[in-house]
């Protein structure tokens, strides 16, 4: 429009307020059609001549192309993020499946073997007991051998029960439980070497938690034992309980041991993963199953040569699976 003062109506107010005398509107045409309009004003009349308009049209074209590109980029980005998320989900689902498959196979195998081994082990145990009874004054060597026999039988029994416990986990039998008491119980059941200092930081204001005390004692016992085993040269084991919020409590078990290399962090909860010559690699797998059976979570943080922290978080209400 060459001279806006020639146009009546609403434009008049605009012209007076903004002191605009001439105006040009350039459509911004993108790949999907008109995506906007660029309005320009000038203080003098007949400001936009043919050459100026052509220039503006070219400019409009450039802007539209720019906007198009930016939109396309944003769309591609969003789609890439979506794809990434879908891929991650798929990967997690696959890992879960593999884990479940592994667990099922292991469960069947362990259940069968464990069961079959119970009887012969029981017989060995009875035989050792019998020998102990009938030998009135056994030679020290014989006595020692019998002791080894009994100790190893006890170890085998422990392995079998953990295999069976893992293969056929029992649902938790819940009641109101003082978590601090369970922690103390787990500690008292564990043999702590002299070189390991145990520090208890138990929060006395902890609310009672609806949980299975035997299963939780096993949970804390497994993690405490791992902590101790990680400190063959000795160190400090901190066992801490705390209230996270009105619905959740946490028990942290911190050691100053060998730590877990980053590449192993993702594997330590897998059944049969172990780095110990005499380990079976079931401790943490059982632990996680039990914690999850309580609706809780177990988290780990670790630095090689510094130590590890395991945190067991439990819902106070003992939420069902």
Chain contacts with ligand ATP (rule: CB under 6 A): 222, 226-227, 230, 255, 257-260, 268, 273-276, 279-285, 308
Q: Which stretch binds Mg ion (CB under 5 A): 14-22, 182-190, 224-232, 303-311?
A: 224-232
- Which residues are 42's β-sheet partners? 22
Residue among 171 and 261 whose Cβ is closer to Mg ion: 261
Minimum distance of ligand ATP from residue 173's CB (angstroms): 23
Residue among 282 and 316 whose Cβ is closer to ligand ATP: 282
CB of 260 within 8 A of CB of 300?
yes
Minimum distance of Mg ion from residue 233's CB (angstroms): 18
Interface with Mg ion (CB under 5 A), residue total 2
Q: Is 216 exposed, middle or buried (0-12, 13-18, 19+ CB in 10 A)?
A: buried
CB of 42 within 8 A of CB of 48?
yes
Pairing of strands 209-211, 175-177: antiparallel
Q: Which stretch binds Mg ion (CB under 5 A): 45-53, 70-78, 137-145, 222-230?
A: 222-230
**Is residue 44 helix, strand or coil?**
coil
Minimum distance of ligand ATP from residue 280's CB (angstroms): 4
Residue among 61 and 229 whose Cβ is closer to ligand ATP: 229
Residue among 226 and 241 whose Cβ is closer to Mg ion: 226
308 lines the binding site for Mg ion (CB under 5 A): no
- Chain residue at closest Cβ approach to Mg ion: 283
Minimum distance of Mg ion from residue 281's CB (angstroms): 8
- Give the residue, chosen from 283, 296, 307, 315, that forms a contact with Mg ion under the rule CB under 5 A: 283
Rounded CA separation 155/149 (Å): 10
Minimum distance of ligand ATP from residue 276's CB (angstroms): 4
Residue 295, C-beta contacts closer than 8 angstroms, at least 6 positions apart: 314, 315, 318, 319, 320, 321
Residue 282 binding: pick among Mg ion, ligand ATP, none (C-beta 5-8 Å cut-off by kind): ligand ATP
> Rule CB under 5 A: which of 226-255 touch Mg ion?
226
Q: Which stretch binds Mg ion (CB under 5 A): 70-78, 181-189, 238-246, 282-290?
A: 282-290
Distances in Å between the Cα of 5 and the Cα atoms of 12, 38, 248 are 7, 21, 73
Element (H, E) at 22: strand 22-30
Q: Which stretch binds Mg ion (CB under 5 A): 32-40, 45-53, 109-117, 220-228?
A: 220-228
- Chain residue at closest Cβ approach to ligand ATP: 283
Minimum distance of Mg ion from residue 283's CB (angstroms): 3
The C-alpha torsion from 71 through 74 and 80 to 83, rounded to 10°, is -80
CB of 314 within 8 A of CB of 248?
yes
CB of 34 within 8 A of CB of 27?
yes
Residue among 207 and 259 whose Cβ is closer to Mg ion: 259
Residue among 40 and 280 whose Cβ is closer to ligand ATP: 280
Ordered DSSP codes for 154-206:
HHHHHHHHHHHHHHSPPPP--EEE-HHHHHHHHHHHSPPPTTEEEEEE--TTP
State residue 164 phi and psi, 5-degree precision. -65, -40
Residue among 110 and 206 whose Cβ is closer to Mg ion: 110
Minimum distance of Mg ion from residue 300's CB (angstroms): 13
Minimum distance of ligand ATP from residue 94's CB (angstroms): 22
Rounded CA separation 120/99 (Å): 31
Tokens of 215: 């299963």
Where do contacts with Mg ion occur on this chain (CB under 5 A)?
226, 283
């Amino acid at each position: 429009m060459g001279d806006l003062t020639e146009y009546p109506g609403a434009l008049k107010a605009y012209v007076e307020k903004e002191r605009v005398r001439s105006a040009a509107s350039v459509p911004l045409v993108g790949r999907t059609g008109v995506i906007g309009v660029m309005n320009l004003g000038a203080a003098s009349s007949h400001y936009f001549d043919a050459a100026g308009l052509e220039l503006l049209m070219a400019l409009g074209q450039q802007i539209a192309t720019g906007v198009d590109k930016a939109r396309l980029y944003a769309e591609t980005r969003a789609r890439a993020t979506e794809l990434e998320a879908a891929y991650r989900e798929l990967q997690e689902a696959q890992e879960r499946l593999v884990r479940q498959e592994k667990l099922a196979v292991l469960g069947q195998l362990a259940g069968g073997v464990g069961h079959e081994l119970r009887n012969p082990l029981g017989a060995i145990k009875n035989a050792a007991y019998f020998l102990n009874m009938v030998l009135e004054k056994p030679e020290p060597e014989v006595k020692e051998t019998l002791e080894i026999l009994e100790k190893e039988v006890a170890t085998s029994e422990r392995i079998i029960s953990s295999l069976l416990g893992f293969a056929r986990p029992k649902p938790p039998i819940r009641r109101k439980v003082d978590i601090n008491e369970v922690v103390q119980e787990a500690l008292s059941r564990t043999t702590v070497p002299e070189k390991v200092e145990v520090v208890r930081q138990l929060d006395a204001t902890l609310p009672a938690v609806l949980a299975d005390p035997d299963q939780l004692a096993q949970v804390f016992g497994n993690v405490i034992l791992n902590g101790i085993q990680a400190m063959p040269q000795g160190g400090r084991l901190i066992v801490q309980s705390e209230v996270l919020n009105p619905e959740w409590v946490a028990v942290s078990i911190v050691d100053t041991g060998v730590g877990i290399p980053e590449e192993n962090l993702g594997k330590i909860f897998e059944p049969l993963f172990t780095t110990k010559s005499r380990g079976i690699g079931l401790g943490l797998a059982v632990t996680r199953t039990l914690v999850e059976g309580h609706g809780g979570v177990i988290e780990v943080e670790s630095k090689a040569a510094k130590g590890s922290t395991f945190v067991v978080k439990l819902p106070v209400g003992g939420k069902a699976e």
